[in-house]
Amino acid sequence: MDKIPFLTREKAEEIAARYPTPFHVYDEKGIRQKARDVREAFAWNPGFREYFAVKATPNPFLIKILQEYGCGTDCSSLSELMLSDAIGLKGHEIMFTSNDTPAEEFRYAAQIGAIINFDDISHIDFYEREVGPLPDTVCCRYNPGGIYELANGIMDNPGDSKYGMTHAQIIEAYRILKEKRVKHFGIHAFLCSNTVTNDYYPTLARTLFTLVAEISKELGIRFDFINLSGGVGIPYSPDQTPNDIMAIGQGVHRVYDEVLVPAGMDQIAIYTEMGRFMMGPHGGLVTRAIHAKHTYKNYIGVDACAANLMRPAMYGAYHHITVLGKEDAPLTEVYDVTGALCENNDKFAIDRKLPAIENGDLLFIHDTGAHGFSMGYNYNARLWSSEILLKEDGSFELIRRAQTPRDYFATFDCFDILDGMNWEAGR
């Protein structure tokens, strides 16, 4: 699969003339098409809803685009709940999936009517003690333990994960919820991360559908929804084949008809929370080459760093890089592409074959639309970049301004040092 940037060098330079590099840029056309595709893939299920994982890309401008296509949000913190409420999502359009949850976050989720997704059986008592009576609708998170393996050899290790309840715990949790007169039930599980296969959701669906049938029969309760969570991934590397969301939706439909329909459960809604799949390929980090260093290796230094995109430093994750304007140039050089942090893992690429790069060239780092900007941090007092929306008509809009030194120092307002700060330094 060719990795083709969704903007040209000319467009990137036009943006950079107004909003200096580095910046994250998002493709409105691609985001809208993805939302339409997901909606179509699950149109067979009348209650379907995609709950976009806010942690992937917590920008209200982008989430409001998804909202136009019926998407809700999946939140894991107080601030994410506040953001969802502020942009007009209401009640059960918001799912609260958290762990080690502070009482104030449960309280706020209850206040705005979000669906509560309990991560642990002990949270039921905690909620009642700290918040009050349980809501009418409650979801529980399942963890089957062990190794979760797909037929094509992809596997993950839920047994080593801090999330969710065991089989025995989740049955007991629903028993308790029923006794406490909860009326509506959901179930949720996240068992594999970033899978590039059309088999994951159908396999997970069979696991959850079978469990729901078991619990319903044993406890006499009716489930309203089953949340397949995230895990549907994207092809970060050009040699990977993208997931086919239509095939995925059809696969889940087959399992639904095989397991739930014969059990008289054809009213159950299917939910998803595909942050990475929804937004990942539709964002990129644009950065400018500012130094070339030749020692034991050849280095290209850029004006972005791991504070702008943590995944390569944190996970060793691959992100494809295109030198804008040199898309068809031969890959004659081998570079480490680095940032300015005082950490040797601050590298976007290691031993990467690229065209010859000159200072001033713009590099497009692909697939940063999810878990890109959102994982930013301020180590070395590096500042967060701006976020730009490239609109369908070719215009662009600033949807988050770059952080300034004044922003960074604002939380030190109890110190007199701020009064003597030179805010024009370096300009």
**Would you please indicate which residues are annotated as catalytic (active-site) residues?**
342
Amino acid at 283: G
Task: Render 209-233 in DSSP notation, one character per residue.
Answer: HHHHHHHHHHH---EEEEE--S-B-
Amino acid at 180: K
Residue 344, exposed/middle/buried by CB under 10 A (0-12, 13-18, 19+)? exposed
Residue 412, exposed/middle/buried by CB under 10 A (0-12, 13-18, 19+)? exposed
According to DSSP, the β-strands at 362-365 and 321-323 are antiparallel
Give how far Cα 165 sits from Cα of 115, 146, 189, 221, 427, Å. Answer: 18, 13, 10, 18, 54
Peptide bond into 22 cis (omega under 30): yes
In terms of Cα–Cα distance, which of 392, 400, 341, 327 is closest to 9? Answer: 327
In terms of Cα–Cα distance, which of 131, 164, 124 is closest to 146? Answer: 164
Q: What residues have CB less than 8 Å from 57, skipping those under 6 apart?
A: 63, 275, 279, 283, 369, 370, 372, 373, 374
